[in-house]
Amino acid sequence: MRRLGTAAAAFALGACMFAGRADASEKITIMVGGIDKIIYLPAVLAQRYFEQQGLDVEIVTESAGVDAEDEMIAGGVQGVVGFYDHTIDLQAKGIEVESLVQFSDVPGEAMLVSSKAAATIRSPADFKGQSLGVTSLGSSTDFLTEYLAAQAGLDHDDYRLQAVDAGTTFIDAMRGNRIAAGMTTEPTASRLISSGQAQVLVDMRSADGVRSALGALYPSSCLYMPNSWVNAHRREAAQLVKGFVMALRYLHTHSAEQIAALLPRSYYEPVGKALYVKALDAYLPSFSGDGRMPADGPQTVLRVLSTIRPEIKKANIDLTKTYTDIFVDKVAK
């Protein structure tokens, strides 16, 4: 488990955007499934707004969303910044969690194929007999990879999934031929593409790409928490959401260069600042401006998961318990 350091501290030095501070609250720990991923930048920027409201929030990170999910279930953290699809997956297992604020309806993921394997893997139909990289088994990259394969007519036993995390470990797995293709986010994708070691096979980093791959937009990064915690901590939940919505507004009112200037070098150094800024600039329009759940989003995610998970297809999923717009509506007012 890694704690968020200088990024939040640097951002907290900015001008205050709230008139006053709330009373001190109990400590809230939120785990992020990879804090240096561009899709989770709101978690970095929101720290300043938490402090301005008097919230004691600690941001910690693990490399994969499913690991963060496990920490929350075990009671080690109160909330997770990860993908919305976990709320549906968990409900099928009898665990009720809900998304409080949506960061994006674009996964920001790309299915990359190693340049060495590009001649033989031209579409998901060619995954048969191949080793495919995901951040972790049971992660959102796992879900999306399995869905692409299923849509191509493959069974789960036709390919092998390898848990390789993201960043350097993902890159090393592809360089070392342990995986022929894999699903990853930015800036990992740009590192491999720019070096010529990988090519994009399926691009879900833009709205058009997601619609092409999944048939509709796909609510992805968000803050999700146990329904029971939210019900018992309405004030804190509202303040958390306000902080994240303010961070989303910041992303929509500042350039990629300005945002990157707030981050520690470790966020962009592996790929280079110029390439990082380019990737961030391309993704900025995909961040939500208000944090609301898109109207048809939950049903789309349920359709995708039901395709690959028989237990979800059989379960009587109540989508109304997997998200709430109550708190983002209060921020809008």
Is 210 part of a structural domain of the chain?
no
Q: Give the domain-ending residue among 204, 231, 256.
A: 204
Domain match, 92 and 235 both: yes
Domain match, 91 and 135 both: no
Domain match, 226 and 182 both: no
Domain match, 170 and 92 both: no
Tokens 């070098």 belong to residue? 265
Is 129 part of a structural domain of the chain?
yes
* Predicted local distance difference test score (pLDDT) of residue 34: 85
User: From CA 146, how far away is CA 153, in angstroms rounded?
Assistant: 11
User: From CA 98, how far away is CA 221, in angstroms rounded?
Assistant: 13
Q: Give the domain-ending residue among 204, 229, 250.
A: 204
What six digits make up the tokens of 205?
């980093």
Q: Give the domain-ending residue among 155, 170, 204.
A: 204
User: From CA 248, how far away is CA 148, in angstroms rounded?
Assistant: 30
Domain match, 142 and 161 both: yes
Q: Which residues pair with 203 in a beta bridge?
A: 110
Is 238 part of a structural domain of the chain?
yes
Domain match, 82 and 29 both: yes
Task: Give me the CATH number covering residue 249.
Answer: 3.40.190.10
Is 317 part of a structural domain of the chain?
yes
**Domain of residue 245, residue span:** 2-106+218-332
Domain match, 141 and 232 both: no
Domain match, 175 and 251 both: no
Domain match, 156 and 199 both: yes
Is 117 part of a structural domain of the chain?
yes
Binned average pLDDT, 10 residues per bin, the chain of 333 residues: 45 34 69 91 95 93 74 92 96 97 97 97 98 94 97 97 94 97 96 96 96 96 97 96 97 97 89 94 96 96 97 96 97 88
Which of 303, 304, 315, 309 lies closest to 92 in space, CA to CA?
Answer: 315
Q: Based on the structure, what is the number of domains in the chain? A: 2
Domain match, 69 and 171 both: no
Is 22 part of a structural domain of the chain?
yes
* Predicted local distance difference test score (pLDDT) of residue 11: 44
Is 21 part of a structural domain of the chain?
yes
C-beta separation of 101 from 249 below 8 A? no
The pTM of this model reads 0.90
Domain match, 122 and 192 both: yes
What six digits make up the tokens of 23?
């009373």
Is 209 part of a structural domain of the chain?
no
Domain match, 225 and 195 both: no
